[in-house]
Structure 1
Amino acid sequence: MPRDATETRSRLIAEAERLFANQGIWRVRVQDIVTAAGQRNSSALSYHFGSRQGVLDAILRDHGEPIDQERGQVWTEEGDDGTPALIEALIRPLTRRLSTSSGRCYLRIVAQLSAEFARWDLDPTHVPANLNAILRLLRDRALANDKAQRDERVLAMIQLMTASLAERARRIEAGDPLDTDENVYAANLVDMLTGIIEAPARAALIATPVR
């Protein structure tokens, strides 16, 4: 790809990240991205990405692939398949993204895709390998009475994780004071997510027949 084309792609990605994070994925128009990137040709985004969904997919891929590689490294370093170690491998590459503006935008974008989270097990080809493997192990360890309840716990864990990271990213971007440093925040998040997976099951005690 020529240098000018590479620079154009990078500007489009950067502005799409910023706009998606700040205004919301579904409120941003293609023309908004093109204008913010300083492109006079309105077809610039279509040329590089095909559509707004195409640029969103590129953002998720550009961040998601290195994150999953880091996740595998952390998992190997932990050398443990216990719930806290698995969750540490899950979140540590994400908390590192809080240190850059681009990473913070990514975290805020991911949280907006919560409607898709329940689909992680339906099409594994769209879920990075280490993420998929960790989520499956966590589901197996969930202290629930059946697969449906274990799936609910994994989904709740993902929702809390992404919402918490997105809110911390927002506060950093806004210059709001933080109550804890990064290490304390990450450790507390691991504890909270572990609680979702390992809390004793009570649903069987209070369940009533579905009519």
Structure 2
Amino acid sequence: MGQHGDRVKKALLDAAEELFAREGVDAVSNRHIAERTGSANHSAVTYHFGGRDELIRALIERHTDDTRRRRRELADLLGEDPDLRDLLGCLILPWTDQLASLPRPSWRARLVQQLKAAPSGIELIAMLSDPLVDEVFQRAMGLLSDIPAPVLVGRSWIMGRMVTDVCAEYEARLEQDTIEPNWTGLAYFLIDACAGMLRAPVTTVGDFLSSRSAGTLS
């Protein structure tokens, strides 16, 4: 396709990421994305990506190599007997490191938030998830055997939503405010919050969220 085609694809990805983040996945048409890039070819998304699902897949995969590499580095440092905060850090820090590496304003956290609100987006995220996330997550759950399984399922779902939503809110704040980003500080704030929630006393055991899956990050 050549350099021109690569530039067009990048422009389409940039436009889609911002529009999806701002307006929601289902509210943005392929035509709208093409028009945002200044292209008169309203079928540009189909031409360059093959279809909408392929565009979304490309968006999800866009920064995952660096995230997975960072997670592998952290996992290799865990040792045989890591504590809960170390394991949670292996899940959360690669995600916030990715967000910290992006130029401002960034849209990545809000994009993921919107994708998780769209059924097709949830399915694509699940298909492209990092197997190491599941491995680390299961090790973390193994340290919480005293917590009833339905409670752990529910809390892990809340944890995934919380990390995504808090990062999206922080990203939006960075767009509006002239503050110095501190994604690492936010990561440890989230690690503390997740560890506290997962270990919190149990006063009610109910099957409230067992049909939900944990909101892990690729």
Pair in the same fold by TM > 0.5: yes
Query: Does structure 1 retain, via aligned residues, the 8 Å contact 2:30–2:52?
Result: yes
Structure 1 residue ranges without an equivalent (≥5): none
1:144 matched to 2:124 = no
Structure 2 residue ranges without an equivalent (≥5): 208-218
Shift of 1:48: 1.7
Deviates more, 1:92-101 or 1:151-160: 92-101
Deviates more, 1:17-26 or 1:101-110: 101-110
Query: Does structure 1 retain, via aligned residues, the 8 Å contact 2:25–2:118?
Result: no
Q: What is the percent sequence identity of the aligned residues?
A: 24
Measure the CA separation in 2 of the matches of 1:48 and 1:136.
38
Aligned amino acid, residue 195 of structure 2: T
1:191 — aligned with what?
A: 192
2:34 — aligned with what?
A: 34
2:82 — aligned with what?
A: 81
1:131 — aligned with what?
A: 133
Two-structure CA RMSD over aligned residues (Å): 2.8
Query: Does structure 2 retain, via aligned residues, the 8 Å contact 1:139–1:151?
Result: no
Measure the CA separation in 1 of the matches of 2:111 and 2:127.
21
Aligned pair count reads: 201
Measure the CA separation in 2 of the matches of 1:42 and 1:174.
31
Shift of 1:102: 7.4
Measure the CA separation in 1 of the matches of 2:117 and 2:35.
29
1:200 matched to 2:208 = no
TM-score, normalised with respect to structure 2: 0.80
Query: Does structure 2 retain, via aligned residues, the 8 Å contact 1:98–1:169?
Result: no
Moved over 6 A (4+): none
Deviates more, 1:92-101 or 1:51-60: 92-101
SS of alignment partner, residue 42 of structure 2:
coil
Shift of 1:108: 0.9
1:90 — aligned with what?
A: 91
Measure the CA separation in 2 of the matches of 1:15 and 1:168.
21
User: Cα gap change, 1:115/1:140 in structure 2, threshold over 3 Å: closer, same or farther?
Assistant: farther
User: Cα gap change, 1:124/1:27 in structure 2, threshold over 3 Å: closer, same or farther?
Assistant: closer
Shift of 1:160: 0.6
Aligned amino acid, residue 105 of structure 1: W
2:167 — aligned with what?
A: 165
Query: Does structure 1 retain, via aligned residues, the 8 Å contact 2:104–2:175?
Result: no
SS of alignment partner, residue 164 of structure 2:
helix
Aligned amino acid, residue 185 of structure 1: L
1:106 to 84, 105, 108: 108
Measure the CA separation in 2 of the matches of 1:137 and 1:154.
13
1:18 matched to 2:18 = yes
Measure the CA separation in 2 of the matches of 1:18 and 1:202.
42
User: Cα gap change, 1:103/1:127 in structure 2, threshold over 3 Å: closer, same or farther?
Assistant: farther
TM-score, normalised with respect to structure 1: 0.82
